[in-house]
Amino acid sequence: MLLKDTTKINDNWMFTLGDCSDYAYAATDFDDKKWEKVKLPHDWDTFFAPDKKSKSGAGGGYAKGGIGWYRKIITISKKDLKKRHELIFEGVYMESEVFANGILVGKRAYGYSTFVVDITDAVIEGDNIVAVKVNNSKLPNSRWYTGSGIYRDVYYRKTDSVCLDYFGVKADTSGVYREGLSATIDVRTLVNNYSEDDSDVQVKWILKDKRRKQVASAGATLYTSSFDSSEACSRIYVDNPSLWSCETPYLYKLVTQLYKGDEKIDERVDGFGIRTAEFTPSDGFLLNGVRTKIKGVCLHHDSGLFGAAFHKEIWEYRLKLLKEMGVNGIRCSHNPPASALLDLCDELGFVVMDEIYDEWTLGKNKNENYFSDQPSYGFSQFFYQNAEQELRTMLRRDYNHPSIILWSIGNEIPEQAYSDGAKIVKFLSDIVHSEDSLRLVTSACDNIASLPEIETRKDFIDALEVVGYNYVGRWRERAESFYEEDKLANPDRIMIGTENPSVCGDRGDYSTDNKYNFSYVTATLTHEALWRFTASRNYVAGDFIWTGIDYLGEAHWPRRGANFGAIDTANFKKDAFYYFKSIWNKDEVTLHLLPHWNFEGEEGQFKQVLCYTNCEKVKLFINDRLVGEKACAACPRYGATKSWDDEVRRYHPTTGDLHLSWDVPYEKGTLRAEGYIGNKLVKTTIVQTTKEADRLCAEVKQLGDFFFIEVSACDTDYKVVPTFNGLIYVKMDINAYLIGMDAGNMSDLTSYKSDKRAMLGGKILVVVKKKDMKD
């Protein structure tokens, strides 16, 4: 969203780690010259290596935490002094207190919320000192890695005394009528009057298409009372709307203008998509009336070496990788994301489940993923005072995103097993519907079939509009029936897999003795069984796997993070990426072979060679000799019998698995897979034994201000050596500086800022920035 007279103020902040007495750092005359100059977004935890003794512990990725202070000068001209002045913090972790010229002007405990601070009464003409205290010292306090500091963007906004409320524009597609090919959009806009006088204002809504051409508009006159808020409503009619979908995420611009007489006093521009989104008991999820299976991933909010610091370009890169994998859904687990992430989902075409809490009144053990009756600091401490405010903030901030199709009020909430759980579901759902009458509410339940003491109560499930199942096959009696028994017993229940296992493992690890990985041979089996079920039952809306990308925290010393993702923290694709791509991305041919073929000294031993493919038939050759020819159960990849999207099966499978495998006695040389559709050879993939690593090769990508240098260890034939895990050193030229290095290895506890780091599987990511862009 873009707002009139609103500027990003990420530059030139001064920062210090540590606290002071009597809030001395907030004072106007405090000398901060010795502090470090930083550019937001900023996560101070990224500057330290994980420390086993850190109180953030395993859950928090052994991050440092603590108390930090930021200061910045904002200059206000004499002319602007009569205006209103606001600061908008997209996210500060956590317990922040904001001061303007030494005066406390706002505070926020929850570290994941966007908040607005009115600094009007504290500002003066000329230089104003804004100071922010951030307290992330009561650790652990959340799951998982949180980061510490002002980790998202900050904006300064000046307005007239009558203005649009920062969160005050809401627009939704109330209907798309196919017969007449027209759509109606209901618009509501909240106007705040901070002046001594009542006044009449006009609100104008203009819908513009991609070419910026006005396609529809509406207007309303609003009487606003002094020191009060008033809402203007109208309906916009659009002929021949271009619909937003995952494949064609068409975005209009909704321009909301506020006029006093002829003078335009405020304006806001939102990306807006016209679409309908419905959940049904028998057909799962329908986007624009079309049954759409959600092929989703859960995402945690950190991004590897950047920690929690949110950079749009980096998430754009990551989301595009997920798109390539065939993903069409994102679950923001377990907290609201940066709003720019939702912009990206709108732009790239992902449906989103936006989630507000990981705990309600009962705290969780932050180092494990279980409920604990031990006191633990976290949102449960604030629930009674703040639950409504935080939820409303998420709903208002995120309302206009066409990507959002479902609100989640909680993840694996312990109250699911207690009698007051259903009451809290009702309390939170009522808040949701007082803000949004169209989208439904879910909660991710992990114990729908489980031990009696922790089992999700029926009244809790019945209180949910969409029942979210986490790990639906986890309990032995559910391992094969998944949702089916519940469906037979509750035909009207709307069901979705809110969280289910992915394919866990470190990139390129094919050993059999790594306690952090499943064997590569069986790693996909749990998911395969679930997906065969989900894909062939229309009533299951889809699934969000845990997780799309590896994340920090939920670690076990000596590791810093969790390797559940299909992509590692350095954004390198793991084998799992290709498994998902083969079943989810129908637009590209996938033919991926694993493991590598560098097993010197193991000649003659059987190796299991796996292939993830959406080809109908694959022939495998070793050193040009045919090993065998196989076809998948998944041609097409949707269901064992009739497929949910009614594709025609052309091949009879030879196996029920969603992958192919061959036992091949190892000999050095070349594995070659040929993939066929019909009788046509459509793709060939080669895996070869390499020589020793001899040189480094690099590929450079520019992502915003950052340069991503993907370095590979290659042999003399320029083949990447997949077994090379050697150290590399980086020496910076005077024109650039190092942001960090990461090879995606969770066991590497070196600071991301270090200029020495080990490669993993022959690869490493080096991130640099040009000097003139220095923080």
- By CB under 6 A, tell whether 97 contacts ligand GAL: no
What's the closest the beta carbon of residue 370 comes to ligand GAL, in angstroms? Answer: 8
Whichever of 411 and 526 has its CB closer to ligand GAL, that residue is 411
CA distance 492 to 467: 11
Q: Are 14 and 70 in contact (CB under 8 A)?
A: yes
Whichever of 159 and 563 has its CB closer to ligand GAL, that residue is 563
Residue ranges in 369-436 assigned as alpha helix (H) = 383-398, 421-435
Per-residue contact flags (x/-) with ligand GAL for residues 480 to 519, judged by CB under 6 A: -------------------x--------------------
What's the closest the beta carbon of residue 659 comes to ligand GAL, in angstroms? Answer: 23
What's the closest the beta carbon of residue 298 comes to ligand GAL, in angstroms? Answer: 7
Q: Which parts of 273-302 interact with ligand GAL (CB under 6 A)?
A: none
Biggest CA-to-CA distance, the chain: 89
Whichever of 442 and 470 has its CB closer to ligand GAL, that residue is 470
For residue 773, how many other CB atoms are within 10 A of its CB? 12
Task: Single out the residue of 95, 302, 554, 715 in contact with ligand GAL (rule: CB under 6 A).
Answer: 554
Tokens of 240: 């021949």
Beta bridge partners of 157: 6, 86
Whichever of 446 and 543 has its CB closer to ligand GAL, that residue is 446
Whichever of 155 and 564 has its CB closer to ligand GAL, that residue is 564
> Dihedrals φ, ψ of 353, to 5°?
-105, 110
Residue indicated by tokens 């002002």: 150
What's the closest the beta carbon of residue 58 comes to ligand GAL, in angstroms? Answer: 11
Letter for the amino acid at 730?
Answer: V
Burial of 453 (0-12, 13-18, 19+ CB in 10 A): exposed
CA distance 701 to 80: 42
What's the closest the beta carbon of residue 745 comes to ligand GAL, in angstroms? Answer: 19
Sign, CA dihedral 297-303-308-314, equals negative
What's the closest the beta carbon of residue 772 comes to ligand GAL, in angstroms? Answer: 41
309: CB partners within 8 A, 6+ apart: 40, 41, 42, 43, 46, 147, 151, 152, 303
Whichever of 32 and 554 has its CB closer to ligand GAL, that residue is 554
Whichever of 230 and 500 has its CB closer to ligand GAL, that residue is 500
705: CB partners within 8 A, 6+ apart: 313, 769, 770, 773
What's the closest the beta carbon of residue 446 comes to ligand GAL, in angstroms? Answer: 5
Task: Single out the residue of 412, 436, 506, 657 in contact with ligand GAL (rule: CB under 6 A).
Answer: 412
Whichever of 526 and 582 has its CB closer to ligand GAL, that residue is 526
The torsion of the CA quartet 442, 446, 451, 454, rounded to 10 degrees, works out to -60
> Residues touching ligand GAL: how many (CB under 6 A)?
9
What's the closest the beta carbon of residue 468 comes to ligand GAL, in angstroms? Answer: 11
Nearest partner of 738 among 768, 765, 704, 710, judged by Cα = 768
- What is the DSSP-derived secondary structure letter of residue 527? H
CA atoms within 13 A on the CB side of 670: 11
Residue indicated by tokens 């500027």: 7
Whichever of 446 and 616 has its CB closer to ligand GAL, that residue is 446
Angle at 274 between CA 271 and CA 278, to 5 degrees: 125
Whichever of 143 and 311 has its CB closer to ligand GAL, that residue is 143
Positions of E strands within 18-161: 36-38, 66-76, 84-89, 92-93, 96-100, 103-108, 115-118, 126-136, 149-150, 154-159
What's the closest the beta carbon of residue 44 comes to ligand GAL, in angstroms? Answer: 24
Q: Which residues of 533-546 are buried (b: 16+ CB within 10 A; e: fewer)?
A: bbbebebbbbbbbb
Whichever of 102 and 501 has its CB closer to ligand GAL, that residue is 501
Task: Single out the residue of 99, 167, 546, 706 in contact with ligand GAL (rule: CB under 6 A).
Answer: 546
Nearest residue to ligand GAL on Cβ basis: 369
For residue 370, how many other CB atoms are within 10 A of its CB? 11
What's the closest the beta carbon of residue 426 comes to ligand GAL, in angstroms? Answer: 23
What is the enclosing helix (H) or strand (E) of 259? Answer: strand 252-260
What's the closest the beta carbon of residue 469 comes to ligand GAL, in angstroms? Answer: 12
Q: Which residues of 724-742 are buried (b: 16+ CB within 10 A; e: fewer)?
A: bbeebebeeeeeeebbbbb
- By CB under 6 A, tell whether 411 contacts ligand GAL: yes
Whichever of 316 and 412 has its CB closer to ligand GAL, that residue is 412
What's the closest the beta carbon of residue 358 comes to ligand GAL, in angstroms? Answer: 7
CA distance 140 to 147: 12
CA distance 775 to 771: 9
Q: Which parts of 121-150 interact with ligand GAL (CB under 6 A)?
A: 143
Task: Single out the residue of 446, 543, 568, 674 in contact with ligand GAL (rule: CB under 6 A).
Answer: 446
What's the closest the beta carbon of residue 326 comes to ligand GAL, in angstroms? Answer: 22
Nearest partner of 56 among 407, 367, 492, judged by Cα = 367
Whichever of 369 and 571 has its CB closer to ligand GAL, that residue is 369
Whichever of 89 and 544 has its CB closer to ligand GAL, that residue is 544
Letter for the amino acid at 10?
Answer: N
Task: Single out the residue of 113, 135, 189, 369 in contact with ligand GAL (rule: CB under 6 A).
Answer: 369
Angle of helix 383-398 relative to helix 339-348, nearest 10 degrees, comes to 40
665: CB partners within 8 A, 6+ apart: 604, 605, 606, 607
What's the closest the beta carbon of residue 417 comes to ligand GAL, in angstroms? Answer: 14
What's the closest the beta carbon of residue 142 comes to ligand GAL, in angstroms? Answer: 11
Beta bridge partners of 229: 192
Whichever of 429 and 502 has its CB closer to ligand GAL, that residue is 502
Q: Which parts of 141-200 interact with ligand GAL (CB under 6 A)?
A: 143
Whichever of 193 and 470 has its CB closer to ligand GAL, that residue is 470
What's the closest the beta carbon of residue 365 comes to ligand GAL, in angstroms? Answer: 11
Whichever of 185 and 555 has its CB closer to ligand GAL, that residue is 555
- By CB under 6 A, tell whether 551 contacts ligand GAL: no
Whichever of 355 and 398 has its CB closer to ligand GAL, that residue is 355
Give the distance, in angstroms, between the CA of residue 633 and the centroid of all CA atoms in the same chain: 31
What's the closest the beta carbon of residue 333 comes to ligand GAL, in angstroms? Answer: 6
Tokens of 600: 């010197």
Angle at 138 between CA 136 and CA 143, to 5 degrees: 75
Per-residue contact flags (x/-) with ligand GAL for residues 455 to 474, judged by CB under 6 A: ---------------x----
Q: Which parts of 334-363 interact with ligand GAL (CB under 6 A)?
A: none
Please report, for residues 362, 500, 624, 673, the alpha-carbon distance to residue 564 in angstroms, rounded to integers and kept in the order given. Answer: 26, 11, 36, 28
What's the closest the beta carbon of residue 120 comes to ligand GAL, in angstroms? Answer: 41
Beta bridge partners of 674: 619, 684
425: CB partners within 8 A, 6+ apart: 409, 441, 443, 460, 463, 464
Interface with ligand GAL (CB under 6 A): 143, 369, 411-412, 446, 470, 499, 546, 554
